[in-house]
Amino acid sequence: MKRIKLTVAYDGTNYCGWQVQPNGITIEEVLNKKLSKLTGEDIHIIGASRTDSGVHALGNVAVFDTTSTIPPERFAYAINQRLPEDIVVTQSEEVPMDWHPRYQDCIKYYEYHILNRSLPDPLKRLTTSHVSFPLDEAKMQEAANYLIGTHDFKSFCNIRTNTDDTVRTIYSLDVVRDGEEITIYISGNGFLYNMVRIIAGTLIRVGRGFYQPEQVKEILETKERTEAGVTAPPQGLRLAKIKYSSGTCSDSKVHDVNE
Amino acid sequence: MKRIKLTVAYDGTNYCGWQVQPNGITIEEVLNKKLSKLTGEDIHIIGASRTDSGVHALGNVAVFDTTSTIPPERFAYAINQRLPEDIVVTQSEEVPMDWHPRYQDCIKYYEYHILNRSLPDPLKRLTTSHVSFPLDEAKMQEAANYLIGTHDFKSFCNIRTNTDDTVRTIYSLDVVRDGEEITIYISGNGFLYNMVRIIAGTLIRVGRGFYQPEQVKEILETKERTEAGVTAPPQGLRLAKIKYSSGTCSDSKVHDVNE
């Protein structure tokens, strides 16, 4: 028996998120089915990030155990032949049997992509969030700076979050404009349910002038979800990569905000 | 009665091209239906470019005649409320009753987008063509230079092209690499059926080393379709804009190769 780690990229548009659920098809379910067929075993993968419906990933991570004789690094190729075009395994490798993608120290890198112009672009509608009102990215960055560091992010998570420990550390939070596109790059040791999208929604409010940048500090201190902005839509969000302290990284080709 | 000119952007993924046809839904059909509903008239638009199934546009052009009292420049807004997300009218304006989008001197600007890396990117699969073998963009440009100017492009059009006049003028043809992406920018006074995709397919062969750049000159001279490369897949192609000699231009926000 050996444990295989997969790095997985996907377009989340047509999936009900990562995690297996009764009401629709998920990334995890497709991977379980295709890996089971490939190995002849009953495979149940364990994912690092259970991304929401419509959210994308370039470097999510998952593991599974197998007795298959397929060389570990060949799994990526073998499974890609069976996967639909919107899911691609970019890497496969063997890891120790006690290596678990959620119980290791890591840095997660997310990106939130905004198309900021009056008209929507049909070619970007599934990978960006369209904001037609002009956004002031300098003010967004000013607000973002209050969120960097270790804080109780209770104001910035979905009220259905099933954890009492809402303290997380954000290592970096950069708001970068490139013409009509604004990207929010965020890295941290872990994120609460909807946390990145609520941060994005709050920063968008700052960018529109509805909040002053320093109000974000107050919102953080109230620890009340109702004080923060709305949850920004899923299609703008992508999990860029996950970097484990063991040294492995799920993708090296993304904007490295923290290195 | 007045004639309204529309500039139309669309994601062609879910359509059987522009032109109304019996076997599937088309861009033209959707616009006809929505404009007819909006005006209460039986609208039949006339498009400038009848793009193929799966091909995108940022600035296709169409006209229709109406007695509606909606101000010409408000049509864009009014129709966008009714259109699906993958079609956006970016501009509307009144033009003279004898203005026809296909019978005016114009420059058409197309782009062919290639993702050139070993693995596909699920987030770009619908808007780029994936080429996993390394491409030499300098050689592609060298080959492209033979195609610039006025030539008989019989070798570079679909054999089902229903015209005897296969002479066209290419004003500019630029092969630009930006990291993993190569974009072929092409402008001309008109293009034959599949011409841009066959040029793209041929340049990709040059980039892989299957053809030498100077062979493209020979292919042009043979006037035999079978000599050129395969028709590159539709999702990489987009009609960027159309610039009419009357001065109007369907989009000013694209790479201006010829200005």
3-class secondary structure, A254? coil
A185-204 tens-digit pLDDT: 999 999 999 999 999 999 99
Confidence of residue B248 (pLDDT cuts 50, 70, 90): low
The domain that holds B180 is classified in CATH as 3.30.70.660
Residue A41 lies in a domain: yes
The domain that holds A25 is classified in CATH as 3.30.70.580
Question: What tens-digit pLDDT sequence spans chain A (259 residues)?
Answer: 999 999 999 999 999 999 999 989 999 999 999 999 999 999 999 999 999 999 999 999 999 999 999 999 999 999 999 999 999 999 999 999 999 999 889 999 999 999 999 999 999 999 999 999 999 999 999 999 999 999 999 999 988 887 889 999 999 999 999 999 999 999 999 999 999 999 999 999 999 999 999 999 999 999 988 888 899 999 999 999 999 987 556 654 433 333 2
- Measure A224 CA to nearest chain B CA, in Å: 35
- Put simply, the answer to whether A88 touches B123 (Cβ < 8 Å) is no
Mean pLDDT across B26-53? 97
CA A94 to chain centre: 23
Using alpha carbons only, give the angle A56, A174, A144 rounded to the nearest 5 degrees: 105
Residue B73 lies in a domain: yes
Beta strand segments in A96-154, E: 106-116, 129-131, 149-152
Residues with Cβ within 8 Å of A71's Cβ and at least 6 positions away in sequence, in order, are none
C-alpha B94/C-alpha A29 separation (Å) is 52
Q: Which of B74, B95, B116 is the last residue of a domain?
A: B95
For residue A240, give the nearest of A163, A186, A159 by alpha carbon: A186
DSSP B21: B
Same domain for B51 and B148, yes or no, is no
- Measure A220 CA to nearest chain B CA, in Å: 33
Same domain for A115 and A231, yes or no, is yes
Q: Are A160 and A195 in contact (CB under 8 A)?
A: no
**Which residue from A minimizes the CA distance to B122?**
A86
Same domain for A180 and A145, yes or no, is yes
DSSP line for B85-129:
TTEEEEEEEEE-TT--TTSS-EEEEEEEEEEESSS--TTTTTTSE
Same domain for B141 and B90, yes or no, is no
Selected catalytic residue, list B52, B86, B105, B174: B52
- Measure B22 CA to nearest chain A CA, in Å: 25
The ipTM estimated for the assembled molecules is 0.90
Q: Which tokens belong to B77?
A: 């807004």
- Which is more confident, B162 or A94? A94
Q: Which of A33, A61, A95 is the last residue of a domain?
A: A95
CB atoms within 10 A of CB B204: 25
Same domain for A110 and A233, yes or no, is yes
C-alpha A202/C-alpha A180 separation (Å) is 19
Residue B250 lies in a domain: no
User: Residue B131 pairs with which residues in a beta bridge?
Assistant: B116
- Measure A58 CA to nearest chain B CA, in Å: 8
- Put simply, the answer to whether B85 touches A11 (Cβ < 8 Å) is no
Q: Which of A74, A95, A116 is the last residue of a domain?
A: A95
Asked if B113 reaches chain A (Cβ–Cβ under 8 Å), the answer is no
Residues of chain B positioned with their CB less than 8 A from the CB of A238: 123
Same domain for B137 and B239, yes or no, is yes
Residue A100 lies in a domain: no
The domain in which residue B63 lies consists of 2-95
Q: Please provide the distance, in angstroms rounded to a whole number, between the alpha carbons at the two ends of chain A.
A: 35
**Which residue from B minimizes the CA distance to A54?**
B123
Query: Among all residues of A, which ones are annotated catalytic?
Result: 52
Residues with Cβ within 8 Å of A144's Cβ and at least 6 positions away in sequence, in order, are A173, A174, A175, A184, A199, A203, A216
Same domain for B25 and B143, yes or no, is no
Say if residue B110 carries a ligand binding annotation. yes
Residue A55 lies in a domain: yes
How many domains does the structure of chain A reveal? Answer: 2
Same domain for A59 and A156, yes or no, is no
- Compute CA distances B104 → A25, A132, B80, B101, B244, whole Å: 50, 34, 27, 6, 7
Tell the burial category of B200 from Cβ atoms under 10 Å away from its Cβ (0-12, 13-18, 19+): buried
Asked if B121 reaches chain A (Cβ–Cβ under 8 Å), the answer is yes
CB pairs under 8 A between A and B: 50
Question: What pLDDT is attached to residue A256?
Answer: 34
Q: Are B34 and B25 in contact (CB under 8 A)?
A: no
Residues of chain B positioned with their CB less than 8 A from the CB of A122: 9-11, 56, 85-88
- Measure A119 CA to nearest chain B CA, in Å: 7
Selected for mutation to probe chain B from A58, A83, A123 (highest B CB count within 10 Å) is: A123
C-alpha B92/C-alpha B99 separation (Å) is 14
What φ, ψ does residue B144 adopt, rounded to 5°?
-60, -35
Q: Are B219 and B185 in contact (CB under 8 A)?
A: no
Task: Give the mean pLDDT of chain A.
Answer: 93
Q: Is B52 a catalytic residue?
A: yes
Residues of chain A positioned with their CB less than 8 A from the CB of B9: 119, 121-123
| A-proximal residues of B, 36-65, CB under 8 Å | 56, 58
Asked if A95 reaches chain B (Cβ–Cβ under 8 Å), the answer is no
Q: Which tokens belong to A246?
A: 């063991």
Same domain for B53 and B73, yes or no, is yes
- Put simply, the answer to whether B120 touches A11 (Cβ < 8 Å) is no
Residue B221 lies in a domain: yes
Mean pLDDT across B230-239? 97
Asked if A254 reaches chain B (Cβ–Cβ under 8 Å), the answer is no
Asked if B15 reaches chain A (Cβ–Cβ under 8 Å), the answer is no
C-alpha A143/C-alpha A203 separation (Å) is 7
B1-21 tens-digit pLDDT: 999 999 999 999 999 999 999
Same domain for A144 and A208, yes or no, is yes
- Put simply, the answer to whether A56 touches B123 (Cβ < 8 Å) is yes
Q: Are A245 and A137 in contact (CB under 8 A)?
A: no
B73-98 tens-digit pLDDT: 999 999 999 999 999 999 999 999 99
Q: Which tokens belong to A62?
A: 């998952």
| A-proximal residues of B, 142-181, CB under 8 Å | none
- Put simply, the answer to whether A9 touches B88 (Cβ < 8 Å) is no
Q: Which of A88, A121, A125 sits opposite B120 (nearest CB)?
A: A88
Q: Which tokens belong to B194?
A: 């599949």
Above 50 in pLDDT, residue B41? yes
Residue B164 lies in a domain: yes
Same domain for B117 and B77, yes or no, is no
Asked if B119 reaches chain A (Cβ–Cβ under 8 Å), the answer is yes
Same domain for A84 and A112, yes or no, is no
Above 50 in pLDDT, residue B255? no
Residue B254 lies in a domain: no
- Compute CA distances B175 → A164, B11, B145, B178, whole Å: 55, 23, 10, 10
- Put simply, the answer to whether A123 touches B85 (Cβ < 8 Å) is no
* Max Cα-Cα span within chain A: 59
